């Protein structure tokens, strides 16, 4: 048994901190959020590995590290005991590790009582995986930056050959799989210089997502800022706030649309890397905390740079559990 695992198990055996429910009559400035309220929704990058080469990616494949199921499971238990209600598995591309991803989804749902979501590029999602593990997933999000094969090729989603780029057809397949398994379908779009003039209304209406996040292309030092240690240089893909707002206005009739410019997005997500370290993006980079397996959630959280007020303001808490007793996921129109 590793030292890290022993430490995590010791933390789990400590008496649990009893936290009161958030008192809405208290102002955020005079009463800081409890740990339980700050960790309600956590994003866990299980690995940086990816099969795409998106030029604006800000969580690049700097290593191929990932925890085994045992340590990852302990991490989920620590989050559960601290108050996490929803876990989002991301990457990299999480489906490059389908067995680990599936087991984590099952454990998070069945043993930790968490809502489970996944963010994927959609290229590796198989019907067999969905048959086995789909029952444990509430929301499945797919990155959809364009419905034009040439634009997807330029961005790096799929093959660079514009005549063979299959990203859109893969998205359609995933949408159908979500409908078959009653999983809420979500879309994520990074608005950049290559797609900000595109009109996606017809396709978005047909896909009928539960939520559609539109993010302004974000630059983070050490990842995609073109520095010596950066794997990407996305500076030419940036759009102005005016260009981003114009994209949002063009799609304003889409009821599922949730716009997130840089000022909203950068610090309002609680991110855990492949070593279960919170990532502090507040200084325009990614500074990892100590691992929650070594120091626990509360201490690591103090190093996260997380803006929980912005998390609340952007609607970070929503109905994130699907209805398993009925059909709440409309079929592709």
Locus of tokens 């699907």: 322
Taking only the tens of pLDDT, the chain with its 333 residues reads: 666 665 665 666 553 433 333 233 333 332 345 899 999 999 999 999 999 999 999 998 889 999 999 999 999 999 999 999 999 999 999 999 999 999 999 999 999 999 999 999 999 999 999 999 999 999 999 999 999 999 999 999 876 666 677 899 999 999 999 999 999 999 999 999 999 999 999 999 999 999 999 999 999 999 999 999 999 999 999 999 999 999 999 999 999 999 999 999 999 999 999 999 999 999 999 999 999 999 999 999 999 999 999 999 999 999 999 988 755 544 443
Residue ranges and CATH numbers for the domains of the chain are: 35-313 (3.20.20.70)
Catalytic one of 54, 112, 178, 192: 54
Check if 281 is active-site: no
50 annotated active-site: yes
Residues 146 and 152: beta-carbon distance below 8 Å: yes
* pTM for the whole structure: 0.88
Q: Residue 1: is it exposed, middle or buried by C-beta count within 10 angstroms (0-12/13-18/19+)? A: exposed
Q: Which pairs with CB-CB distance under 8 Å and at least 24 residues apart come from 314-319?
A: 314/258, 314/260, 314/264, 314/265, 314/268, 315/258, 316/40, 316/41, 316/268, 317/40, 317/41, 318/211
Which helix (DSSP H) or strand (DSSP E) does residue 10 occupy?
helix 3-13
Catalytic residue among 57, 178, 192, 281: 57
Beta carbons within 8 Å of 36's beta carbon, 6+ residues apart: 19, 82, 83
């Amino acid at each position: 048994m590793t030292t890290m695992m022993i430490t995590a198990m010791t933390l789990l055996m400590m008496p649990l901190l009893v936290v009161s429910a958030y008192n809405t009559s208290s102002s955020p400035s005079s009463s800081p959020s409890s740990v339980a309220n700050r960790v309600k929704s956590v994003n866990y990058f299980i690995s940086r590995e990816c099969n795409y080469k998106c030029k604006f990616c800000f969580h690049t494949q700097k290593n191929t590290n990932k925890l085994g199921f045992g340590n990852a499971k302990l991490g989920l238990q620590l989050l559960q005991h601290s108050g996490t209600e929803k876990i989002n598995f991301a990457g990299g591309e999480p489906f490059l590790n389908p067995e680990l991803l599936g087991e984590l989804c099952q454990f998070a749902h069945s043993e930790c009582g968490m809502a489970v979501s996944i963010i994927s590029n959609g290229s590796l999602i198989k019907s067999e995986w969905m048959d086995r593990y789909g029952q444990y997933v509430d929301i499945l999000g797919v990155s959809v930056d364009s419905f034009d094969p040439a634009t997807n090729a330029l961005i790096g989603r799929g093959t660079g050959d514009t005549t063979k780029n299959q990203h859109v057809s893969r998205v359609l397949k995933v949408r159908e799989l979500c409908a078959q398994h009653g999983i809420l379908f979500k879309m994520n779009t990074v608005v950049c210089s290559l797609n900000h003039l595109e009109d996606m209304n017809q396709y978005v209406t047909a896909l009928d997502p539960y939520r559609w996040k539109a993010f302004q292309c974000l630059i983070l030092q050490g990842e995609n800022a073109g520095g010596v240690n950066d794997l990407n240089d996305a500076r030419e893909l940036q759009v102005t706030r005016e260009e981003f707002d114009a994209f949002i206005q063009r799609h304003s009739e889409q009821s599922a649309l949730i716009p997130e410019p840089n000022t909203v997005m950068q610090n309002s997500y609680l991110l855990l890397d492949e070593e279960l370290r919170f990532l502090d993006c507040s200084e325009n980079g990614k500074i990892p905390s100590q691992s929650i397996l070594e120091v626990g959630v509360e201490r690591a959280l103090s190093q996260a740079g997380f803006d929980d007020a912005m998390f609340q303001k952007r609607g970070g808490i929503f109905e994130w559990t699907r209805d398993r007793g009925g059909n709440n996921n409309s079929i592709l129109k």
